Structure 1
Amino acid sequence: MNETAVNPADQAGALVDRRYRSAVPYRVEREKIREFARAVQDYHPVHWSEAAAAELGYSGLVAPATFSSIILTRVHREIMDSLITGYDPTRILHEDQVFDFGRPLVAGDRLTCDVYVESFRHYGDYDILAIKSVLIDQHGMVVQTGSSALLARAGGRDPKLAEAVRTVAVSPIATRQGRTEAVVPAAADSLAPAPARRISKQDVDFADLAVGTELPPRTVRLSRGDLVNYAGVTRDAHPVLFDERIAVASGLPTVAAPGMLKLGLAASFLSAWLGDPTALTRFRAQFAHNTHYLRIPPLATRTVEFRGQVTSIDPRRRRATIAVDARTEGRELFGYAAAEVLFPPAIRAAD
């Protein structure tokens, strides 16, 4: 069967400065919150108990910080399925991710995702796409934004590899109700995240922090079963997450954990330290380099140790920046990772 040649670089370049809306709104469900919390090993009560969430002032279960990666995975797939169709999915790397959190996502939220292709350029053997995602709730408020850098290896598809991917892929995500909708770009000032108002019960006293303060380390274990579980929860059908043949054919030594899973585990590490999963306001990580893959061999587990250190403090805004380090067998899993954390106003003692 002959296929019409498609130049994905031309497709991607034509999308710059345009805005696209996800074909189907996403409803945040409480069981999905629990499934995601289990996948990223986050056991804070607000992800599991409505009563615990109510104590912090929320009407339903609170989603872990990186829960929106479920939505981003779906939207990126929509773009690659319907708008930029010439890239081999096995040659696309997720290089960089930034989350900006306006407020936590809560069970019952109904979210629309607007996507902007902010820039496109060619570097070496890769095409680099910078994609901005804006999550808007049922009230028309921007609740989170995300920026993703995707590296797509230039060159044609490998027919044998593409067929293998179709054979082993599970729960493929198809664009429903037609293709992704193109809409008129919005004004830049409409993208400001909504301010968060919450009752905080943090375990960390801002006054005790200083530049250089180290967080207690946390260790987690991952198996291939955990990767399959994460792929099922996020509906990420990329076979390199669970199929040895596809991973090797794609240039990896073995099955590797996705960057978004590592980012979710890192956010859980910070949440456990703070005692408040709603305190994160920003998180950025770089994770696509070969040296930063979390490789998991068959019938084995990998231990990942997370550490953190305060790198800056803003006393006026009561914010701190935390550099996050994750290692397995001495190897770093992030090229860079850091989070900004907001602390509640100080409580003044009565005179």
Structure 2
Amino acid sequence: MNKSAIDAATDPADQARALRDHRYRSATTHEIGREKIREFARAIKNFHPAHWNEEAAAELGFNGLIAPPTFASIILLGVHREILDTLVNGYDSHRILHADHVLDLGRPLVTGDRISCDVYFESFRHFADYDVLAVKSVLTDQHGVVIQTGSTALLARTGTDSAGLAHRVGGIAMRCPDAPPTPGVVIPAEGNATVAPVSSRIPCTTVDFESLSIGTQLPARVVHLSRNDLVDYAGVTGDADPVLFGEQSATSTGLPTVVAPDMLKLGLAAGYLGGWLGDPAAATRFRAQFAHYTHYLHIPPPQASAIEFRGRITSLDPYRRKATVALDARSHGRRLFGYAAAEVLFPKVD
């Protein structure tokens, strides 16, 4: 093997570029358990009864507890880590950011589901100080039905990690697997298998669609988030990024203090929306932009940070009984999303 071939095999940018038009099929099947749903709901402060009580979930038409909309982030975090450990192993996983994130929901994950995951590598480019790998994740249930998809751009900051962030996590008890997962396989992507799932369910919202108009404001809600909450979330999801709970690790990257994970912010926003709707499964799409540093949620010690959530109707589709809701979250005077919105379905009138 000549030197150029060796460089191509070891340079992470070349590794990522070579993955275009391929997909990674994870060898792990994820079984959705009721206690894991409750742990995750607790970690994102989502106390809708359908996440906790089977009878409440049955009233919405489900035969088990339903997971909050962003529960799949647990699965995707693990699969993305597999990819970074086995396929694109030159990047520091603690320097990976997520840019625009789109989550399409055919239905929520339910107790007893056995979920498989495929990740499609759609594009690669270099932008400023980042290598950008756009990926689409497809979650399939035990019946072979695609139930959720997620699109995101993984931003890997290039350069030397002189701060040694990966070694700065200490004293945090993380519930990680006893052994590394079995590596998956990379195969060519064939056809358009990443079409967003379609929800055929009749929503059970408590909000009257006819009462809405463009500009309608949702009631505000305030949530408090502490550093202990960050540790709980990290323990449930397995996210061991040291800037989430290590003061020295955070400040060495230029942050004023530790920050909350982006998917935790989106999970809180989804819980806020579901609480207003009365049916957390009525939302069929979430989109959020949260890569810019000005949108970090800072958690200074020792007090908890207050987050105020608001929403506003920005479009209505009377034929499909669909509304688009712009979501806003602010803490310490800072916006936590560059942009965030959800699409919601309402029951049709007979």
Query: What does residue 79 of structure 2 align with?
Result: 75
Aligned counterpart in structure 2 of residue 205 of structure 1, from 202, 208, 215? 208
Q: Please show how residues 213-228 of structure 1 align to structure 2 within 5 Å.
A: 213-228=216-231
Q: Deviations over 1:265-317 (max 9, x none)?
A: 00000001000001001000011211111000121110000000000011111
Q: Which one-letter code corresponds to 2:272 in the other structure?
A: F
Query: What does residue 24 of structure 1 align with?
Result: 28
Return the alpha-carbon distance in structure 2 between the equivalents of residues 173 and 16 of structure 1.
29
Asked if 1:288 corresponds to 2:291, the answer is: yes
Q: Deviations over 1:193-217 (max 9, x none)?
A: 153324x431100011110000000
Query: What does residue 256 of structure 2 align with?
Result: 253
The answer as to whether partners of 2:26 and 2:116 remain within 8 angstroms in 1 is yes
Query: What does residue 347 of structure 2 align with?
Result: 344
Aligned residue for 2:341, secondary structure, equals strand
The answer as to whether partners of 1:19 and 1:116 remain within 8 angstroms in 2 is yes
**1:236/1:196 CA distance change after superposition, 3 Å:** farther
Q: Please show how residues 111-122 of structure 1 align to structure 2 within 5 Å.
A: 111-122=115-126
Aligned residue for 2:14, secondary structure, equals helix
TM-score, with length taken from structure 2 = 0.93
Return the alpha-carbon distance in structure 2 between the equivalents of residues 160 and 9 of structure 1.
21
Q: Which one-letter code corresponds to 1:235 in the other structure?
A: G
**1:175/1:8 CA distance change after superposition, 3 Å:** farther
Return the alpha-carbon distance in structure 2 between the equivalents of residues 324 and 108 of structure 1.
31
**1:294/1:30 CA distance change after superposition, 3 Å:** same
Query: What does residue 306 of structure 2 align with?
Result: 303
What is the CA-CA distance between 1:169 and the residue it aligns to?
Answer: 8.4
The answer as to whether partners of 1:172 and 1:237 remain within 8 angstroms in 2 is no
The answer as to whether partners of 1:99 and 1:284 remain within 8 angstroms in 2 is yes
Aligned counterpart in structure 2 of residue 317 of structure 1, from 311, 316, 320? 320
Aligned residue for 2:90, secondary structure, equals coil
Aligned counterpart in structure 1 of residue 236 of structure 2, from 230, 233, 238? 233
The answer as to whether partners of 1:77 and 1:173 remain within 8 angstroms in 2 is no
Query: What does residue 140 of structure 2 align with?
Result: 136
Aligned counterpart in structure 2 of residue 62 of structure 1, from 35, 59, 66? 66
Task: Identify which range, 241-250 or 278-287, moves more after superposition.
Answer: 241-250
What is the CA-CA distance between 1:190 and the residue it aligns to?
Answer: 6.3
What is the CA-CA distance between 1:49 and the residue it aligns to?
Answer: 0.6
Query: What does residue 97 of structure 2 align with?
Result: 93
Task: Identify which range, 174-183 or 334-343, moves more after superposition.
Answer: 174-183
Query: What does residue 328 of structure 1 align with?
Result: 331
Query: What does residue 3 of structure 2 align with?
Result: none
Return the alpha-carbon distance in structure 1 between the equivalents of residues 161 and 328 of structure 2.
35
Return the alpha-carbon distance in structure 1 between the equivalents of residues 164 and 68 of structure 2.
38
**1:278/1:85 CA distance change after superposition, 3 Å:** same
TM-score, with length taken from structure 1 = 0.93
Return the alpha-carbon distance in structure 2 between the equivalents of residues 131 and 295 of structure 1.
28
How many residue pairs get aligned? The number is: 343
Q: Deviations over 1:15-57 (max 9, x none)?
A: 1110111121111100011111111111111101111111222
Return the alpha-carbon distance in structure 2 between the equivalents of residues 44 and 77 of structure 1.
30
Aligned residue for 1:217, secondary structure, equals strand
Asked if 1:44 corresponds to 2:44, the answer is: no
The answer as to whether partners of 1:227 and 1:242 remain within 8 angstroms in 2 is yes
The answer as to whether partners of 1:165 and 1:239 remain within 8 angstroms in 2 is yes
The answer as to whether partners of 1:74 and 1:173 remain within 8 angstroms in 2 is no
What is the CA-CA distance between 1:77 and the residue it aligns to?
Answer: 0.8
Q: Which one-letter code corresponds to 2:209 in the other structure?
A: F
Return the alpha-carbon distance in structure 2 between the equivalents of residues 269 and 202 of structure 1.
14
Q: Deviations over 1:73-115 (max 9, x none)?
A: 1111111111111112232212221100011110000000000
The answer as to whether partners of 1:93 and 1:152 remain within 8 angstroms in 2 is yes
What is the CA-CA distance between 1:165 and the residue it aligns to?
Answer: 4.9
CA RMSD of aligned residues (A): 1.9
Q: Which one-letter code corresponds to 1:122 in the other structure?
A: H
Asked if 1:110 corresponds to 2:114, the answer is: yes
The answer as to whether partners of 2:169 and 2:246 remain within 8 angstroms in 1 is no
What is the CA-CA distance between 1:175 and the residue it aligns to?
Answer: 7.6
Return the alpha-carbon distance in structure 1 between the equivalents of residues 177 and 123 of structure 2.
25
Return the alpha-carbon distance in structure 2 between the equivalents of residues 61 and 24 of structure 1.
22
Asked if 1:266 corresponds to 2:269, the answer is: yes
Q: Which one-letter code corresponds to 2:15 in the other structure?
A: Q
* Unaligned residue ranges in structure 1 (runs of 5+): none
Asked if 1:155 corresponds to 2:159, the answer is: yes
* Unaligned residue ranges in structure 2 (runs of 5+): 1-5
**1:331/1:310 CA distance change after superposition, 3 Å:** same
What is the CA-CA distance between 1:177 and the residue it aligns to?
Answer: 5.0
Q: Which one-letter code corresponds to 1:289 in the other structure?
A: H
